[in-house]
Amino acid sequence: MSKLLPKGRIPTPPPSLLWYFVSRNKLVGDIPSSICNSSSLKVLTLWKNSFNGTIPECIGNLSSSLSHLDLGNNNFHGKIPESFAKYCTLQSFRISNNQIGGSLPRSLGNCKDLILLDVGNNNLNDTFPNWLGNLDHLQVLVLRSNKFFGQMDNSDVTVSFTRLHVIDLSRNNFSGYLPTNFFKNLHSIRKGHENKFELEYMEDVSDYIAFNYVYGLSLTVKGSEIEFQSLSTMWMVIDFSDNQFFGALPKTLGELHSLIVLNLSHNCLTGPIPSSLGDLSQLESLDLSSNKFQGRIPTDLTNLGFLEVLNLSQNNLKGPIPQGKQFDGFTNDSYKENLGLCGFPLSKRCDTDGGTLVKFDRDDDELNWKFSILMGYGCGLVLGLSMGYIVFTTGKPLWLIRIVELVQQRFTKR
């Protein structure tokens, strides 16, 4: 466990120390370069302090012994060290929630055992790191809230990412079509994971515990940002929201059968919502809001038995909203600002053909009541005019006078 230290500078660990946890303190200043003399150090966690210096370049060399390095939630600036060791042993590397700029050093590709890479909420300015696809053990990739840009597809790079099960690219400047081949290669999300996977790639139980001790990993799940206290291979997440992706959704997305969270909101995606999304049997959260999707909502989405959160708002969808199962629990907010949609839970109802929009501003009973009154007025007016015309043209016909007299006599007797 981390030891709570008074406000001040980081104490230099003894050379023989294996684990160094000083998280959740009020430590300030730079990381002393003397920390790199701890050649036996396997775990270094300085998470959630007030450091405001740069990351020592020698940290890259220390990666030949380190398994876990967590410098997240500080005020570090400058760049990531360029020279990660040729035989880098890092399994998790986190520098999230700092002010670090520059690009991702290509020497991170030397870290063949890397399982988690979290550089979210910084000022990194780079293209998508396709070269990380060669890291066979990479499970979690978080690039959110930076200045990454450009297209993800690169025909010159063989990208696999076969073990990946969490990828967060949200709040960047990525553009172009969604990468079909990228989704095809996400074999862990297509087929699921076995919970024993981490142990297979950890040297001992202490490494396994250290990996799960990586707290503070933030992801947007079911519409809210959640800070996880540990990692789980059960979470399968794709978040490409708040970028500039355009074009249609690849049908291959429907093959990611273990996916739990899919967030593609706030992009420029067009075309219909593919019915293949109805094959995502484990999906709990689907957010396609603030795009330019057209056409009808596929009825296949009613097959998503675990779906808890649905957001299709701010698109160009039309036609009836599918009914039944999970869809009966979604509110108007799931569909707002789609002027062509109709059916429950919206106030716009569909005709029997299921396509034409009929808007009811008041309850049906009130409408029927007003319609009956208008019909009564209309019929009375026609009958009155007809009788007036007969009286006017024939004088005072005896048969009409007799009918009136009989009615008067009956009311008098009562």
Q: pLDDT by residue (tens digit) across 130-181? A: 999 889 999 999 999 999 999 997 655 566 899 998 999 999 999 999 999 8
Which of residues 338 and 14 earns the better pLDDT score?
A: 338
pLDDT at 204 over 50: no
How far is the C-alpha of 208 from the C-alpha of 201, rounded, in Å? 9
pLDDT band at 359 (very low <50, low <70, confident <90, very high): very low
pLDDT band at 206 (very low <50, low <70, confident <90, very high): very low
Helices 398-413 and 364-394: crossing angle in degrees, nearest 10, is: 130
Identify whether the C-beta of residue 268 lies closer than 8 Å to the C-beta of residue 244: yes
Number of alpha carbons in the 13 Å side-chain half-sphere of residue 413: 5
- For range 110-139, the mean pLDDT: 94
How far is the C-alpha of 306 from the C-alpha of 280, rounded, in Å? 10
How far is the C-alpha of 105 from the C-alpha of 391, rounded, in Å? 103
Q: Which of 141, 70, 113 is nearest to 200 (CA)?
A: 113
pLDDT value of position 374:
43
* Residue 37, φ and ψ in degrees, nearest 5: -80, -10
Q: What is the pLDDT of residues 280-289, one digit of tens each?
A: 999 999 999 9
pLDDT at 197 over 90: no
- For range 65-83, the mean pLDDT: 93
Identify whether the C-beta of residue 145 lies closer than 8 Å to the C-beta of residue 174: no
Q: Going by CATH, does the domain composed of 19-271 fall within 1.10.287.3610? A: no
pLDDT at 75 over 70: yes
| Whole-prediction pTM | 0.79
pLDDT at 410 over 50: no
Q: What is the pLDDT of residues 42-52, one digit of tens each?
A: 999 898 888 88
How far is the C-alpha of 29 from the C-alpha of 290, rounded, in Å? 42
